[in-house]
Amino acid sequence: MLLLEFRPRRARGSREVARARVLKRMALSAVFALPIGVATLIAGIALT
């Protein structure tokens, strides 16, 4: 179900297309933010 939301082509109507784009952007930012957060946590623990 979530995979359908990440594909703007599968969405019906302009409202669903906009929601799919927002969810795709959120997913991409989460993919990049998670490793950065983990690296920051490890660096913080290592420095203390």
Instruction: Convert the pLDDT of each residue in 22-46 to its tens digit.
Output: 888 998 898 899 999 999 999 999 9
pLDDT value for 14 = 82
Measure Cα distances from 34 to 3, 29, 31 in Å.
20, 8, 6
Give the phi and the psi of residue 28 in degrees, each rounded to 5: -65, -40
Q: What is the pTM of this model?
A: 0.54
In the block, tokens 């929601």 appear at: 19
